[in-house]
Amino acid sequence: MFDPVYSITPLIAKLLMQISELKQDIDLAPITPTMLAHLRATARMSTIHYSTKIEGNRLTLHQVKELIKEGGTVGRKRDENEVLGYCAALDEVDLLAKNKTLTQKDIQKLHAIVMNGGKKRIKITPYRDGQNVIKDGVTGNIVFLPPEAQDVLPLMQELVNWINDAPEHDIPVPLIAGIAHYQFVTIHPYYDGNGRTARLLATLILHQGGYDLKGIYCLEEYYAKDLPSYYRVLDVGPSHNYYMGRAKSDITLWVEYFCRSMLKSFESVKRRALGNLNRNKDMAKEMRHLDARKRALLTLFVHESEISAKDVEDFFNIKSRTARHLCKQWVDDGFLVIVNPSKKLRTYALGQMFRKLL
């Protein structure tokens, strides 16, 4: 059974408290849908750029944006495929985040998408069937010797079981994500793509646990800007051999590093979000008068002029009766107006006084 060794040091406890406070501040921040879309797009591009850069991708942030938005050729085919694969995998993370539990198949699918350049038709990639050796790119010395292929499947199942059971043991979501990241690269279940998949797995766990932060943060930037520190805290244990100490090593330093990276990322998000709010004080004041559901619903109207009760039901994952009741309530207070009065095909538009918030 997977049983990670770490301690909740005073520093980790403090970091977790600060992360929780920042999460609440950002969740409650009156960010307009347009501003949110901009921040989310910026964070997404940064995530793709920095996570692939860690693995040696040569494309600049500008080239990544150009490739995803316009297509064409911007660099080496391999670099382009890595970027497109990571972009598609982030889309899959958004879908998987709606599930309450994680499966090995979910992880295998993420890896397959990462490794297939964003292709729509993919096959789930099986775990490696042989030994993998990680060497220093300069010296050629062995850096890490992962577990043997025959042990990968049971180790991965233990990890998935631990991830799903951890919330019941009151383990904070950031710790679950950080430890899962560490253990995945330790098992190294594939010949290639382990680092990218590990970071996607951590992101998925954070999103499933309510730490999606509206999708406007980027942890990978902090890893990429100081790679020696990132690799140093991942490289723990008395030996490079998995079976000679690595499996039961104390990973407290890695947990501290992961939480510190989260805090820095969340602090950056708050600065950018509040900066935008300070430049749009009147808009922010109007947004503060809306409850959380109304703020969230505004995002539907960024791309749609009309919505139905079914859209509200799907968006909030609530019962149809509750959705219809909310729509009636919002019509009564002027937040929505009825466009099509048909009982079966009834649609709603945003009330005129609220359209400026878009």
Of 176-180, 268-272, 281-285, which one has max mean pLDDT?
Answer: 176-180
* Separation CA 284–CA 110 (nearest Å): 37
Q: Which domains are assigned to the chain?
A: 10-276 (1.10.3290.10), 290-355 (1.10.10.10)
Q: For residue 270, what pLDDT is reported? A: 82
pLDDT above 60: residue 354: yes
Q: For residue 281, what pLDDT is reported? A: 56
Q: For residue 294, what pLDDT is reported? A: 85
8 Å CB contact between 256 and 234: no
Mean pLDDT is lowest, of 31-40, 149-158, 238-247, for 31-40
Q: Which residue type, as a one-letter code, is found at position 345?
A: L
| pLDDT tens track for 119-142 | 777 888 899 999 998 887 778 788
Q: For residue 21, what pLDDT is reported? A: 93
pLDDT above 80: residue 92: yes
Higher pLDDT, 281 or 312: 312
Q: For residue 130, what pLDDT is reported? A: 96
Res. 40 pLDDT band, cuts 50 70 90:
confident
Q: For residue 279, what pLDDT is reported? A: 56
SS (H, E, C) the chain: CCCCECCCCHHHHHHHHHHHHHHHHHHHCCCCHHHHHHHHHHHHHHHHHHHHHHCCCCCCHHHHHHHHHHCCCCCCHHHHHHHHHHHHHHHHHHHHCCCCCCCHHHHHHHHHHHHCCCCCCCCCCCCCCCCCCEECCCCCCEEEECCCHHHHHHHHHHHHHHHHHHHHHCCCHHHHHHHHHHHHHHHCCCCCCHHHHHHHHHHHHHHHCCCCHHHCCCCHHHHHCCHHHHHHHHCCCCCCEHHHCHHHCECHHHHHHHHHHHHHHHHHHHHHHHHHHHHCHHHHHHHHCCCHHHHHHHHHHHCCCCECHHHHHHHHCCCHHHHHHHHHHHHHCCCEEEEECCCCCCEEEECHHHHCCC
| pLDDT tens track for 145-190 | 999 999 999 999 999 999 999 999 999 999 999 999 999 999 999 9
Higher pLDDT, 42 or 120: 42
Q: For residue 277, what pLDDT is reported? A: 56
* Separation CA 269–CA 280 (nearest Å): 17
Could you give the percent of the chain with pLDDT greater than 70? 96
Higher pLDDT, 29 or 338: 338
pLDDT above 90: residue 25: no
pLDDT above 90: residue 88: yes
Q: For residue 327, what pLDDT is reported? A: 92
Average pLDDT, the chain: 89
